[in-house]
Amino acid sequence: MAPGLVQLAQQRQSSTFQILGIATTDAASVQSFVNQHAGMNWPIAYSTDMVGVARLGAFNETFRVAGYEAKPLLMLIDPQGRLVWTDKHSRFKHLDPDQSLGELEAAIDKALGKKAGG
């Protein structure tokens, strides 16, 4: 889980922003993960088929170990269903997680029509 994502969700809980998790595991595995990460209170879809994951651009072709079928990926989708921002698998590019979250927050502000930092 991206460090700071829980904090971002808490800060944005009154806005039109909503986090949705997508997992390729079963419900018990998802619940176990959520139980280990306090503050994760967003909906999580699970048992996603690999075709759906591939359509999202998150299928992990190079690391086929159970539980790692999908690359961690952040995406911002507007109410019309358009992709307006993605971190492009920042963990696999060794980018700073705080940088990715900062970029996500700026993209949220832009999508909501707010000025950066306001």
Provide the CA 89 distance to its chain's centre, in angstroms.
10
Q: How far apart are CA 106 and CA 6, in angstroms?
A: 16
Task: Provide DSSP, 15-40.
Answer: SS----EE-SS-HHHHHHHHHHSTT-
Q: Tell me the pTM.
A: 0.67
* Residue 39 covered by a domain: yes
Residue 111, CA distances (Å) to 10, 13, 26, 39, 118 in order: 18, 16, 32, 24, 13
The reported pLDDT for the residue numbered 25 is 79
Copy the structure tokens of residue 70.
Answer: 């999908």
* Residue 82 covered by a domain: yes
| Dihedral angle, C-alpha 102, 108, 112, 118, nearest 10 ° | -20
Torsions phi, psi for 59 (to 5 deg): -65, 135
Residuewise pLDDT in 10s, the chain (118 residues):
566 888 888 888 877 888 888 887 788 888 888 888 888 888 888 866 777 777 777 777 776 666 566 667 788 888 888 888 888 877 666 678 888 888 889 998 888 887 655 5
Q: How far apart are CA 20 and CA 16, in angstroms?
A: 13
* Residue 118 covered by a domain: no
Domain count, the chain: 1
* Residue 116 covered by a domain: no
* Residue 115 covered by a domain: no
* Residue 98 covered by a domain: yes
The domain in which residue 73 lies consists of 5-110
* Residue 117 covered by a domain: no
* Residue 51 covered by a domain: yes
Helix (H) or strand (E) holding 77: strand 75-77
